[in-house]
A and B are shown apart, each in its own frame.
Chain A
Amino acid sequence: MITVDRPRNCEKKIGFETRMPRIPLRRSFDIIKLSYHGCNNRPFFHIVLLKNISKRNAPPIEMLGTYDPMPNMYNEKLVSLDIDRIKFHLASGVALSKPVEKLLGLSGLLPVHPMSFITAKRNRQKLEEQAKSQAEQEEEGNADKS
């Protein structure tokens, strides 16, 4: 849908009807997404509610949690979620970014994201291949010795 903007006072002066078509404004809606609050080589994310058109680290409408993607000494990645507020925003039809959808899927709040299953399958395949090649190498080594 292209709207043509015609300033009325300009029309008479310039004297022609058609002007360059303007690009329409982007549709604006609320979205829950990650904003980067780490520093160099130390990622740390806030889970925030923002307008889709605002900048990544813009002051959020609401902060809904945090996500630390670097495993701690117990090999855990920590996620905190403000469950009550997230449920409220979901009910009022907010959009979710893909990483947030995956996190909520893993937390058991939403159904598991299909992409998580696919990555899991790929990782398993990779591991199987690694194990296979390792076994072959060992067999070759044994054959050489004997």
Chain B
Amino acid sequence: MAASIPFRATMSYSKLFTQLAHLKVRWRGFASSSKVLCASSEETASPSYGNTTERDPFPIFVDNEVQDLLSKITGFDILKVAGPHKRHLEKPKYRLLTDAELKGEMAAARDRLSKRLQIPPYMNPRKPNVTPLAVDPDLAHFDTSNYVFTDVTFGIKDRDRTVVVRETDGTLRIAPWDVRDRMNQIYNPREGKEYLKPQMFDEKNLERMIWEKKYVYILDRACCQFEPDDPDFIRTTHRVYKAVDSAGDHDDLRSTRHFGSLAFYLVWYKMADSLLLDMLKRDFASDAADLVKLYSIVHPQSACTTSLKQLSSDSNLAAVVQVYIDTTSTLSSELQLALQALEDAD
């Protein structure tokens, strides 16, 4: 009996409470140290990256102005957003509405559909946590397998969840990202996400699917499967964006949630010329001007930005695009022709 209740039997309350206080400090220390770890790893890892990834794109991406521009150029083709898709057979419902009611219904439907166009965040890949929380050589070989401890406190979010691993050599460390993702899927399963990474994201199969031009399918599936700062997500999406850009299939992604990410990616790596050409050819002059504005926000030091500032605020869209063609474009002759054609048509 005494063996099964060690705290009552062997420990006085005061001792227990001192231990608990110590414990609280430990867990607080744990949380803060994990933050410190992230910060320090970012500092150390950044110089090894190239010039463009040195900056963190996320704060620029979530800026309100940038989000507005991105959602504007995404467009809203209702047939594409709410287009035919598989669903269970249901009887249609008929209702008699006044004109005002119909207008309200349409507006509500539009609101509902616009949520489908939420752009997935554009982030740098996450860094691994390498510093252990506790090293205990006396505990080595306590078991033949690792123990993974997951916090399942009510109401905790997947991104804030604490997951720690006690390894067989006795060290306690914050779980690696892949373990964390698996634990999240086990204890908080999400629809559309698989426990094991689907084979379609392997290099070979991905290339085949890109060749078949299943861009939207790949991107949708990647959004379900990965976190936005997962290196796999970034690798997959960037590969698809590159393929879309080189094949000139920008229109496939228009009016889907991925168009904003595509545009941001192309602008971030200064490859937006063919997208701009596509916009001009399809008579999206305002989109083209928005793209140039986006370029000037993302690259504030560029020549394009300085000459854009000299333009008067009421200058027309063509002038804005013209500035981009003059300063930064690599396809300037073709862009010039397309712009000319657009102006002649007006």
| Known contacts A117-B139, A120-B141; A84/B150 CB under 8 A | no
Contact B150 A95, beta carbon cutoff 8 Å: no
Contact A116 B142, beta carbon cutoff 8 Å: yes
Contact B146 A80, beta carbon cutoff 8 Å: no
Q: Which residues of B contact A98 (CB under 8 A)?
A: 3-4, 6
Task: Name the contact of A112 in the complex, choosing from B6, B139, B150, B151 (C-beta under 8 A).
Answer: B139
Q: Which residues of A contact B24 (CB under 8 A)?
A: 87
Binds B, one of A2-10, A15-23, A71-79, A135-143: A71-79
Bound CA–CA A29/B8 (angstroms): 10
Contact B142 A123, beta carbon cutoff 8 Å: yes
Contact with A along B173-206 (1 / 0, CB 8 A): 0000001001100110000000000000000000
Q: Which residues of B contact A131 (CB under 8 A)?
A: none
A85 within 8 A of B: yes
Bound CA–CA A101/B151 (angstroms): 17
Contact with A along B139-157 (1 / 0, CB 8 A): 1111111111111111000
B25 within 8 A of A: no
Contact with A along B24-57 (1 / 0, CB 8 A): 1011001000000000000000000000000000
Contact B152 A80, beta carbon cutoff 8 Å: yes
Bound CA–CA A110/B143 (angstroms): 18
Residue of B nearest to A67 (CB): B147
Bound CA–CA A71/B19 (angstroms): 31
Contact with B along A112-132 (1 / 0, CB 8 A): 100011011101100100000
For residue A23, give the distance in angstroms from its CB to the closest CB of chain B.
14
B16 within 8 A of A: yes
Binds A, one of B130-138, B208-216, B326-334: B130-138
Residue of A nearest to B183 (CB): A78
Bound CA–CA A85/B154 (angstroms): 9
A90 within 8 A of B: yes
Contact with A along B5-24 (1 / 0, CB 8 A): 11110000100110110011
Contact with B along A87-110 (1 / 0, CB 8 A): 100110111111001010011111
For residue B147, give the distance in angstroms from its CB to the closest CB of chain A.
5
Q: Which residues of A contact B16 (CB under 8 A)?
A: 90, 93
Contact with B along A12-55 (1 / 0, CB 8 A): 00000000000000000101000000000000000000001000
Q: List 26 A–B pairs whose Cβ atoms lie within 8 Å, in order of A's numbering.
A: A31-B4, A71-B145, A74-B179, A75-B144, A76-B146, A76-B147, A77-B146, A79-B148, A81-B152, A82-B151, A84-B154, A85-B153, A87-B24, A90-B20, A93-B8, A95-B8, A98-B6, A106-B142, A107-B166, A108-B134, A108-B164, A109-B23, A111-B19, A116-B142, A117-B142, A120-B140
Q: A-contacting residues of B (Cβ < 8 Å)?
A: 3-8, 13, 16-17, 19-20, 23-24, 26-27, 30, 133-134, 136, 138-154, 162, 164-166, 170, 172, 179, 182-183, 186-187
Q: B-contacting residues of A (Cβ < 8 Å)?
A: 29, 31, 52, 65, 71, 74-85, 87, 90-91, 93-98, 101, 103, 106-112, 116-117, 119-121, 123-124, 127
9 closest cross-chain pairs (CB), A and B: A120-B142, A71-B145, A107-B149, A95-B5, A123-B141, A84-B153, A80-B152, A75-B145, A106-B166
Other contacts beyond A80-B152, A93-B7, A107-B164: 6, CB < 8 A: A29-B8, A31-B5, A71-B144, A82-B153, A93-B8, A117-B138
